[in-house]
Amino acid sequence: MTTDISVIVPFLNEEDNINDLCKVLDEYAKDKEYKLEIVFVDDGSTDRSVILLKQYNFKYTKAKIVTLSRNFGSHAAIRAGVLKASSDICVFFSADLQEPVSLIGTVYNKLQEGYDVVCIQKREVQVSFSEKLFSRGYAKLVRKYAVKNFPLGGVNNIMFNKKVKDVLNRYIESNSSIFLQIMNMGFRMSIVDMDYNARNKGETKWTLDKKIKMLIDSFVAFSFFPIRLVSILGIIMSLLGLLFAFGILIIKLFNLLPLELGYPTLITVILFGFGVTNISLGVIAEYLWRAYDSARGRAVFIINDEITIN
């Protein structure tokens, strides 16, 4: 059976959703004019997710499991899926079933209009106010300082053709966002708005530390703004220091105020100065560490096994 679309599903400890996920994807493939391949990528699961996948009887689609040697992160897992995908057209799909399965056909039809990349922008999703605030803030910062065509509603899913797939497999980036890498390539891109659902089972793996890492990866990997911010902070600090010194000089010369300078002022200046300095060093260290990590050439992911289900 010739595969037209490879659906890449990264997962980590999703045993509560596996059967529903398999059923939804398999039944969707029934009687479609295009053929689906599902590439499940196990990102170091410790539950029964892989066992349940092996037991499922797919009727209308091909399916296989790519297991990683340990947990490398969702973006690394997606890259492994792209590498092992049989089709020239790939789309991502979340194991928690927040995306409606109909998006596969929607973005595939859009791709047939001549686009190389089709991004799905969340039109509405049931999330907390803090999560919505983080997403909007992240999107605006990325648009301003990193990737100009990043959708304001964020991107949780994306379909692309062979040109994009070949570039991704040629340049497997570490500590990077695969979404931003695709959008930064410059290929013809379209955005489709779609409603999303809330997670019904299991717990989200999208924790605060992963959000912070994604935020850092996005700007350090795709923007020089953080390093330029260091220079801006240095200039601001220098100007504040000069203004502070000039103000003290004027007050002393003209005896405008009974000013007593002592330890409180000194401690304030030192704490402020060292705080900004340490932040600046931290930003520089992020760039240096990532350059070193890239120079070592360590694997972004390690495939432990590849299992054909049917």
User: What's residue 194's pLDDT?
Assistant: 87
CA distance 101 to 11: 16
Does residue 31 sit in the same domain as residue 165? Answer: yes
Contacts of the segment 207-213: beta carbons below 8 A, 24+ positions apart:
210/73, 211/134
| CATH number of the domain bearing residue 148 | 3.90.550.10
Q: Where are the alpha helices (DSSP H) in 41-149?
A: 49-55, 74-84, 103-111, 129-145
Does 203 fall in a domain? yes
**Tokens, residue 28:** 């969707």
| CB-neighbour burial class of residue 170 (10 A; exposed 0-12, middle 13-18, buried 19+) | exposed
Does residue 88 sit in the same domain as residue 140? Answer: yes
User: What's residue 48's pLDDT?
Assistant: 94
What parts of the chain have a pLDDT lower than 50? none
Does residue 92 sit in the same domain as residue 197? Answer: yes
User: What's residue 288's pLDDT?
Assistant: 79
Q: How many domains does the chain have?
A: 2
Does residue 261 sit in the same domain as residue 118? Answer: no
Does residue 129 sit in the same domain as residue 38? Answer: yes
**Tokens, residue 187:** 């290929």
Distances (CA, A) of 219 to 118, 138, 207, 238: 23, 10, 19, 26
Q: What are phi and psi of 244, to 5 degrees?
A: -60, -45
**Tokens, residue 14:** 């999703």
Does residue 136 sit in the same domain as residue 99? Answer: yes
Say how many residues make up the chain. Answer: 310
Does 216 fall in a domain? no
Does residue 17 sit in the same domain as residue 104? Answer: yes
Does residue 261 sit in the same domain as residue 189? Answer: no
Residue 72: give the domain boundaries. 5-209+299-308
User: What's residue 277's pLDDT?
Assistant: 78
User: What's residue 304's pLDDT?
Assistant: 95
User: What's residue 41's pLDDT?
Assistant: 97
Does residue 81 sit in the same domain as residue 201? Answer: yes
User: What's residue 257's pLDDT?
Assistant: 65
The gap from C-alpha 180 to its chain's centroid, in whole angstroms, comes to: 7
Residue from 61, 77, 76, 2 nearest 29 by CA? 61
CA distance 97 to 17: 8
Does residue 100 sit in the same domain as residue 122? Answer: yes
CA distance 257 to 307: 80
Does residue 73 sit in the same domain as residue 112? Answer: yes
| CB-neighbour burial class of residue 91 (10 A; exposed 0-12, middle 13-18, buried 19+) | buried
CA distance 14 to 48: 8
Does residue 74 sit in the same domain as residue 168? Answer: yes
CA distance 103 to 94: 12
User: What's residue 103's pLDDT?
Assistant: 92
Question: What's the whole-model pTM score?
Answer: 0.78
Does 9 fall in a domain? yes
